[in-house]
Chain A
Amino acid sequence: MDTLQLDQHISQQFNADLEHLKTALLEMGGLVEEQLADVIKAIESGDSSLAEKALIAEDEIDRRELSIDKECLTVLARRQPAASDLRLVMMVSKAIRDLERMGDEASKIARMVIALSEDGTEIRGNSELRHLANSVVKIVRVALDAFAHSDVFEAIKVVKDDKEIDKEYQSTMREMITYMMEDPRQISRVMNVLWMLRSLERIGDHARNVAEQVIYLVRGMDIRRTDLSDVERQLESKS
């Protein structure tokens, strides 16, 4: 069932509850997209007022996370949803966490932009930063679209594109390291760019999480970490 058929329940209220969860998640996603767009404009223009705006947006995003979380809990308690309804509630409750984290990362970038703009000088790596930022903005949008349309193909695309972003992040990072080696006076500024790149890359990962959740929602399939040896490697790296 590719469409979620949220209007088909015997209980109209249940229809409304689930519809609202879906809308609320998309609205929260919209806020994150907007915040991210502001942050990126701020990077391009060095305009710290846009960065300030992004910082304010974070508060609203956090509030949304709490209220949607509460709604999920209420639906679980009152309706004991099953099958696709259950998957929707679980998916939403996980996706809001990812969106909230995206908001956090965007705010981190905003703070860097403010710090850099106070510094006043043009920083090396700006073009790389912009390039990665545009890729990340795109997959965030596609992930939310995939959710809105229950489209697994779009979701798969996000997973694939995130892989490309990870590669791009690595090669950009190598470049940044080269800059620092060439001119040690730039280290502290390039470090700031590195942190921004890192945040962008993390936002891409959260977009991928959302996309993976969309696949779970639509198909009931968990594609996260399906490689066992990879799980083992992760366990080792954490121990």
Chain B
Amino acid sequence: MSDIPVSTPINPMLGDNMQQATLDDRNNIPNAGHGGHTVIEEATQDKVKATEKNKTVGKPLCDNPKIEVRDVSVFYGEKQAVFGVDLDIAKNEVIAMIGPSGCGKSTFLRCLNRMNDTVDTCRVEGSITLEGQDIYAPKLDVVPLRAKVGMVFQKPNPFPKSIYENVIYGPKIHGLASRRSEMDEIVETSLRKAGLWEEVKDRLHQPGTGLSGGQQQRLCIARTIAVSPEVILMDEPCSALDPIATAKIEELIAELSQNYTIAIVTHSMQQAARVSNRTAYFHLGKLIEVNDTQLVFTNPDHELTEAYITGRFG
């Protein structure tokens, strides 16, 4: 009599949890954890977070990078601002750079289109290649480079010209458009991509400086897009904007990432969490951690990243 199987329908007590995996089942999953460890093994490993300061933890490199940065150090005179950074930026990814003030993230971003050339005391060591081409090669012309790698700054900085002129200025000097119809087309598509067309199409010849802050920033993005860049660098593009304008720019970043590679420096961690695929954390000039954004904000690998994003040091 006692050999009645417990799962016979007459038994109302059988919990659905009885069908859950046993611990042994879980242990038998091949490669359930990272690096061949089982989940349980990994969970009980007595590991603490990485504390290494001279090596980047996480995934700084990727396959088929758009931009390849190797051992880049940046000096302002005697003072070193960035220490031996290795980083790949993938095609069509949005990578966010975060870190406390003075950590070198903006300096690093500015290296990517040689914006630091304008600072006399600034010296860049190491190599940065854009699709395999060394952007610091002596013979390289920085003007087309900066068209390929455009930049949007913290404060909207439209030229003191009309909206139309703001957008078409770049294509004109790069010789991308000469006929009026071509120029009209570039202006319209750029403003459309920047999500500004509907708001300004009736006043294209009024000054760009007359727009609101958020509109000015989108105008600057339109201006960047107008020269058909491959990469867009954004240095705290929303820090001077209100939440609504910020939301529009963030929406735009998501759309733009379908066609462009975007690197964004931001002080807003929520912004980094919202817009980026990967997040890079800089600390005192060193690249501490690069990981998928979801991982960085839920369970970062490095204790410094953890301390920074949870607001544990200033």
Contacts and interface: CB of A to CB of B under 8 A. Distances in A.
Interface of A: 1-2, 5, 8-11, 14, 80-87, 152-153, 156, 159-160, 163, 166, 170, 173-175, 177-178, 181-182, 194-195, 197-198, 201-202, 205, 215, 219-221, 223, 225-227, 230, 233-234, 237-238
Contacts of B13: 173, 194-195, 197-198
Interface residues of B, number: 45
Contacts of B311: 9-11, 14
Contact of B307 (A8, A166, A197): A8
26 contacts: A2-B48, A8-B307, A11-B311, A82-B310, A83-B305, A83-B306, A156-B44, A163-B22, A166-B17, A170-B6, A173-B11, A174-B4, A177-B2, A178-B1, A219-B42, A220-B298, A221-B39, A221-B43, A225-B20, A226-B21, A226-B32, A227-B25, A230-B21, A234-B16, A237-B16, A238-B16
A85 B310 contact: yes
A10 B43 contact: no
Contact of B298 (A83, A197, A223): A83
Given A174-B6, A223-B39, A82 B32 contact: no
Contacts of A227: 21, 25-26, 29
A234 B19 contact: yes
Given A82-B269, A82-B310, A234-B19, A215 B43 contact: yes
B43 A86 contact: no
Nearest to B307: A8
B244 interface: no
Contact of B17 (A87, A160, A205): A205
B299 interface: yes
A166 B280 CA distance: 45
A10 B13 CA distance: 51
A42 B299 CA distance: 44
Nearest to B28: A227
Nearest to B49: A1
B79 interface: no
Residues of A contacting B: mostly? helix
A158 B271 CA distance: 39
B115 interface: no
Given A10-B312, A10-B313, A82-B269, A153 B40 contact: no
Contacts of B307: 8
B58 to A, nearest CB: 14
Given A10-B314, A156-B43, A194-B13, 20 more contacts: A2-B48, A10-B311, A80-B270, A82-B269, A83-B298, A83-B309, A84-B299, A159-B23, A170-B6, A173-B11, A173-B13, A174-B2, A177-B11, A182-B1, A197-B13, A215-B43, A225-B20, A230-B25, A234-B16, A237-B16
A173 B273 CA distance: 50
Contacts of A153: 44
A174 B310 CA distance: 51
Contacts of B16: 234, 237-238
Leading 10 A-B pairs by shortest Cβ distance: A220-B299, A227-B21, A230-B21, A82-B309, A8-B312, A198-B13, A85-B310, A178-B2, A82-B297, A205-B17
Contacts of A2: 48
A135 to B, nearest CB: 16
B29 A226 contact: yes
A38 B313 CA distance: 46
A237 B19 contact: yes
B35 interface: no
Given A1-B303, A11-B311, A84-B306, A202 B44 contact: no
Given A173-B6, A181-B1, A226 B26 contact: yes
Contacts of A221: 33, 39, 42-43, 299
B285 interface: no
Contacts of B237: none
B165 to A, nearest CB: 41
Contacts of B309: 82-83
Contact of B15 (A5, A80, A198): A198
A159 B21 CA distance: 11
A223 to B, nearest CB: 5
Best-buried of B269, B298, B314 by chain A (most CB within 10 Å) = B298
